[in-house]
Amino acid sequence: MPKSKLGEDVYKKADKVNAELFVLTYGSIVAQLCKEMPYDQVNAELEKMGENIGVRLIEEFLAKTECERCQDFRETAETISKIGFKMFLNYMPVITSWSEDGKTFVLNLDENPLAEFVELPLEARGILWYSNIYSGIIKGALRMVQIEVNTRFIKDILRGDDHTELSVSFVRVIDDEVPPGDE
Amino acid sequence: MQPNGKPMFKSSVSASSQSSLPIRGRNICDQNLNKIKNSDVSLSAFAFLFSELIQRTQSRVTGIQDFEERLNEHGFRVGQRLVELVVWRERSPKRETRVLGILQFIHSSLWKQLFGKHADSLEKSKDVNDEYMIVDNSPVFNKFISVPKNMNQLNCCAYLAGIVEGFLTSAQFPCKATAHTVPLPSYPSRTVILVKLHSSVLRREEYLG
């Protein structure tokens, strides 16, 4: 079954909730963080929250889609964009470019629902990555399937750029390690 | 500042117009307000986000009261923004100035916008004339939250109560809203949002006749 169809099917069967409630809840979380700490720490905090979500989200993903292990990083990228995003957010970001060595891809998140109704204050524009929770979610989820990646936003419409782009780069495959202290 | 001390959100327009630089990128006033009006996300996405919110709040609070207050604050921010959005979408020719009117608006339009259905009931308290109750039989917030026994007075619908409180306060009906679980055999997570209106609202209501 093509990936996009799988993503759509899983989404159709899921219970739904109004997108605006979701988006406004996220906005409230970011607003609270911005009140508590400076913008660069907010980025780190959002990524941490995203990682916590990602490690649990991957289980639901695997349970609902019964996907097999991806053969290579390209397949991983397609799975994330066509199935992962679609089944949770009903939205498929486009993979816009690959690096030459095939280890980094860029997701275009122009229609990102989280950025709806949002305008960043001027002092935040150079620093805050509003949707940074996505970088954490992808990182956390892939870590649970033994892939270590680095994720970061490179552009954001809310900051005045022309597109919203998230870059994901492959670092290494995590081997099963004996936990420290066990022998 | 509102009577209960919660600040209204600052309008970003006034701040930007003080800067001499042009704002790059999209202007929020040009955005279509109905873009995601009828969209959904999966319940699990929302549940993950909400659970992260709860976990984060849990690590920073001193007790159940504080916990519920913080959730209330989060909901308050959402409610403030929903006033403008939902009322604009309803395109009603008149502004609600009576208590019953605004509560019925919440019971029907706000709930419909947020949850796709009306609230299950709207009641007035018999003993106290400034208290009203909005009931939801299966609130989406409690669906995936399990409350440990030592915190069993906690109701995560304090967030929903905050939404109602933010909505009413921004519509010039200052009040306090709290959430209480009143389970029924068929609805174990049935929640009652208790709205306690400020005395100024009751005085105004009397004055309006």
- Interface pTM (ipTM) of the complex? 0.91
pTM assigned to the model: 0.89
Q: Look at residue A178 and tell me if it is in a domain.
A: no
The answer for residues whose C-beta is within 8 angstroms of residue B50's C-beta and 6 or more apart is A25, B141, B144, B145, B156, B159
Contact A30, A124 (CB under 8 A): no
Residue with tokens 């916990």: B67
Average pLDDT (B190-200) is: 93
Using CA atoms, how far residue B17 sits from A127, B11, B14, in Å, is: 20, 11, 5
Among chain A residues, the shortest Cα distance to B19 is held by A122
Question: Is pLDDT at A140 greater than 90 in this prediction?
Answer: yes
Q: Would you tell me how many other CB atoms lie within 10 Å of the CB of residue B152?
A: 10
The pLDDT value given to residue A138: 95
Cα B160 to Cα B168: distance, rounded to the nearest angstrom = 12
Weakest-pLDDT range from A44-58, B1-15, B152-166, B181-195: B1-15
Residue A91 belongs to some domain of the structure:
yes
Cα–Cα dist B164/B48, whole Å: 22
Distance CA B186, CA B173 (A): 33
CA–CA separation, A67 and A69 (whole Å):
7
Residue from the list B25, B55, B56 with its beta carbon closest to the beta carbon of A160: B25
Residue A182 is assigned to a structural domain of this protein: no
Does B1 have pLDDT greater than 50?
no
Q: Which residues contact B56 (CB under 8 A, 6 or more apart)?
A: A29, A49
Domain count within chain A: 1
- What is the rounded average pLDDT for all residues in chain B? 84
What whole-number distance in Å separates Cα of residue A98 and Cα of residue A105? 4
B124 is a domain residue: yes
* Inter-chain touch B43–A157, beta carbons under 8 Å: no
Cβ-in-10-Å burial (0-12, 13-18, 19+) of B95 comes to exposed
* B6 in a structural domain: no
Res. B133 pLDDT band, cuts 50 70 90: very high
User: Is B9 part of any domain?
Assistant: no
pLDDT at B34: 83
Q: What is the pLDDT of residue B16?
A: 47
Distances (CA, A) of B57 to A140, B21, B61, B73, B165: 21, 37, 6, 11, 19
pLDDT of residue B132: 94
Residues of B in contact with A121 (CB under 8 A): 12, 15
pLDDT category, B14, cuts 50, 70, 90?
very low
Q: Identify the pLDDT of residue B122.
A: 92
Residue B95 has pLDDT above 50, yes or no: yes
Give the separation between CA B104 and CA B200, rounded to whole angstroms. 20
DSSP string computed for B96-107: --SHHHHHHHII
Structural domain for A53, as ranges: 3-173
Count of structural domains within chain B: 1
A146-169 average pLDDT score: 91
Among residues 74-93 of chain A, which lie with CB inside 8 Å of chain B? Answer: 87-90
Whether the CB of A116 is below 8 Å from some CB of chain B: the reply is yes
- Give the span between the Cα atoms of A148 and A169, in whole angstroms: 9
Please tell me the predicted confidence (pLDDT) of residue B2.
Answer: 46
A50 part of a folded domain: yes
Please indicate whether, in this complex, the C-beta atoms of B49 and A161 are within 8 angstroms of each other.
no
Element (H, E) at A167: strand A165-173
pLDDT at B109 over 70: yes
Average model confidence (pLDDT) across chain A: 90
Nearest to B97 by CA among B1, B209, B184: B209
H helices of chain A, where? 3-13, 19-36, 39-65, 73-78, 85-89, 133-144
Q: Which residues of A touch B78 (CB under 8 A)?
A: 21, 24-25, 27-28
> Burial, B144: exposed, middle or buried (Cβ in 10 Å; 0-12, 13-18, 19+)?
middle
B166 domain residue, yes or no: yes
Which residues span the domain enclosing B30? Answer: 15-208
**CB A70 within 8 Å of CB A87:** no
| pLDDT over 60 at A160, yes or no | yes
Residue B1 lies in a domain: no
Q: How many CB pairs under 8 A join A and B?
A: 121
Q: Residue A114: which CATH number?
A: 3.30.1380.20
What is the rounded CA–CA span in Å between residue B98 and residue B95?
Answer: 9
Q: Which CATH number fits the domain that encloses residue B133?
A: 3.30.1380.20
Task: Please compute the mean of the pLDDT values over residues B52-62 and round it to a whole number.
Answer: 88
Which residues does residue B178 pair with via DSSP β-bridges, in sequence order? B194
Percentage of residues in chain A having pLDDT higher than 90: 61
Confidence of residue A175 (pLDDT cuts 50, 70, 90): confident
pLDDT of residue B188: 85
Handedness of CA A128, A134, A137, A138 (dihedral sign): negative
Query: Could you tell me the CA-to-CA distances from A26 to A57, B10, B110 in Å, in that order?
Result: 17, 18, 19
- The beta strand positions in chain B, using DSSP E, are 40-42, 121-124, 131-136, 175-181, 191-197
Give the pLDDT mean for A151-178.
88
The token pair at B194 is 């208790």
Mean pLDDT of A152-172: 91
Does A89 map to a domain? yes
**Who wins on pLDDT, B50 or B27?**
B50
